[in-house]
Chain A
Amino acid sequence: MLSALSSLQPRQLAAQVLNFALVLSTAFMLWKGLSVVTDSPSPIVVVLSGSMEPAFQRGDLLFLWNRGLDTQIGEIVVYNVRGKDIPIVHRVVRRFGGGDTPLRLLTKGDNNAADDTELYARGQSYLNRSKDVIGSVVGYIPFVGYVTILLSEYPWLKTVMLGLMGLTVVLQRE
């Protein structure tokens, strides 16, 4: 297998490596394209906790849309806590402002007893719709996202998967 690879001339080797690079870059560009269309930095997220049960379970895949800036009470939004990189999926229970003043939201998980005031950063008691929220949920696929949870809990899986993918694409010449 590898001997077949070494017998290639430089242009052919470059062409094989290009195949792999194109697979990666097409996947990345599709993600970025979706990101730009939805205006959300992360248009597809995975539910990590059980705080929205029974609506969403751990491992569900959520699709976000960030262009509906007049979020209503009852909508499910995904937001980042200021200073932390963990997205949280909860439902809007109160809203203040909107129109001329910036829209501010209070959220609460369906399965939680209290609202999210304790989850926010110190000194923060509401969410700013344009700054903190990365989108509202417009659709979901159950359970598919469990792969992502596995990949984040066992980071070596990412390297293994990428390595296998790279090897198969570079070595095959179908």
Chain B
Amino acid sequence: MLGRRHCQLFSVNTFDNNIIAPLGVSWSLDPVSELEQRRAVMTSSPKVAVYSLSDLKNTTDDALPNYLTSLKVAQNHNHTDVRLLLGYLAVVVSGVTFYFDYTLGFDKTKYWTAWAVAAYFVLNGLFTWWIWRVEKGIVFQGSVKGQKLLLYSRTEKHIPIYHLTARYTSPSAPSLWQEVQLQAPFTRWFTADGFFVAKPFQQWLASEIPPIGQADPGNVVEEIGRGDGSARAMNVQPGRVEEVLDALKDASGRMAGSQGARSRRKA
């Protein structure tokens, strides 16, 4: 049985869309890969509708900060906080207006209601402006080892390509912003039936964006593939060699046995 599992390990190293290392099965050959598999299992549980672009984008956008915070990148929530502040302030203004209008009647509150309506639409306008111009698709803002990092994502209507813009500084020049624009089709990290696989997504991020690559050098690879990275190395450890040889012997023994039977019959 162990021999067969090894054979399966060798055959998973393809780039066929449908063959993916089944996650959740502990194929631990060494401790590092087990950690990565566990990380991958955590993020791959929800199944998305593969043809829904917004589902794909949202799942990817949700996975991104999860991955980065697991690398101990400090996340800055400023943009979300400002948006929530503006939004809830507007809601509070309308709530207070409703309360006073309900209890005191229209005539008494006419004057203040007029001001409240004006204030509400000003706040709403600021809120909309914040989302549209300042946020502009930001999915992550943070810093790692003195380098500031901002990530913006977008997709174009009905085209399943994930566009990511990364702006970062280097510790030696903290006011100089560099920008990298990446795109990749969602098929790189989604299986055909809609499961998100973290490993190729992490490899893509680490290989293309220098600050992330520095924080996670294990994921920087030349060619990004699917499944467990250690599978490609085919590192057969000394203890396992005997089992592989046994399996090979069994297989050849079966063939030899059938040949022997044929020769016996002849004789």
User: For the complex, what is the distance from the CA of A22 to the CA of B84, rounded to whole Å?
Assistant: 11
Residues of A within 8 A of B124 (CB): 22, 26
Q: Does chain A have a CB within 8 A of B87?
A: yes
Shortest CB-to-CB span from A13 to chain B, Å, is 11
Shortest CB-to-CB span from B111 to chain A, Å, is 9
Q: Do the beta carbons of B106 and A41 come within 8 Å of each other?
A: yes
Residues of B within 8 A of A7 (CB): 46
Q: Do the beta carbons of A11 and B94 come within 8 Å of each other?
A: no
With beta carbons under 8 angstroms apart, the residue of B54, B95, B97, B107 that contacts A32 is B97
User: For the complex, what is the distance from the CA of A7 to the CA of B58, rounded to whole Å?
Assistant: 13
- Given A4-B46, A35-B113, are A28 and B98 neighbors across the interface (CB < 8 Å)? yes
Residues of B within 8 A of A15 (CB): 80, 83-84, 87
User: For the complex, what is the distance from the CA of A29 to the CA of B95, rounded to whole Å?
Assistant: 10
Kindly report which residue of chain B lies nearest to residue A34, judged by CB atoms. Answer: B117
We find that the number of chain B residues with CB closer than 8 angstroms to chain A is 29
Q: Does chain A have a CB within 8 A of B151?
A: no
Residues of B within 8 A of A119 (CB): none
Q: Do the beta carbons of B77 and A11 come within 8 Å of each other?
A: yes
Q: Does chain A have a CB within 8 A of B88?
A: yes
Q: What 0/1 readout, one digit per residue, does chain A (7-34) give for beta carbons within 8 Å of chain B?
A: 1000100110010011011101100110
Q: Does chain B have a CB within 8 A of A174?
A: yes
Q: Do the beta carbons of A29 and B94 come within 8 Å of each other?
A: yes
With beta carbons under 8 angstroms apart, the residue of A11, A21, A35, A174 that contacts B91 is A21
Kindly report which residue of chain A lies nearest to residue B88, judged by CB atoms. Answer: A18
Q: Does chain B have a CB within 8 A of A161?
A: no
Q: Do the beta carbons of A29 and B121 come within 8 Å of each other?
A: yes
User: For the complex, what is the distance from the CA of A39 to the CA of B121, rounded to whole Å?
Assistant: 19
Shortest CB-to-CB span from B160 to chain A, Å, is 16
Q: Do the beta carbons of B54 and A173 come within 8 Å of each other?
A: yes
Kindly report which residue of chain A lies nearest to residue B92, judged by CB atoms. Answer: A25
- Given A18-B84, A29-B120, A29-B121, are A36 and B77 neighbors across the interface (CB < 8 Å)? no
- Given A14-B84, A41-B106, A173-B58, are A29 and B97 neighbors across the interface (CB < 8 Å)? yes
Shortest CB-to-CB span from A32 to chain B, Å, is 5
User: For the complex, what is the distance from the CA of A7 to the CA of B101, rounded to whole Å?
Assistant: 38
With beta carbons under 8 angstroms apart, the residue of A25, A33, A35, A36 that contacts B95 is A25
User: For the complex, what is the distance from the CA of A4 to the CA of B58, rounded to whole Å?
Assistant: 11
Q: Mind listing 13 A-B residue pairs with CB under 8 Å?
A: A3-B46, A7-B46, A18-B91, A21-B88, A24-B94, A29-B97, A29-B116, A29-B121, A32-B97, A36-B110, A36-B114, A41-B105, A174-B54
Known: A26-B94, A32-B113. 13 other contacts (CB 8 A): A3-B46, A15-B83, A15-B84, A18-B87, A22-B90, A22-B91, A24-B94, A25-B95, A26-B124, A29-B117, A35-B106, A36-B110, A174-B54
Give B residues with C-beta under 8 Å from A.
46, 54, 58, 77, 80-81, 83-84, 87-88, 90-91, 94-95, 97-98, 101, 105-107, 110, 113-114, 116-117, 120-121, 124, 127
Closest 8 CB pairs of A and B: A41-B106, A25-B94, A33-B117, A18-B87, A21-B91, A36-B114, A29-B120, A25-B91
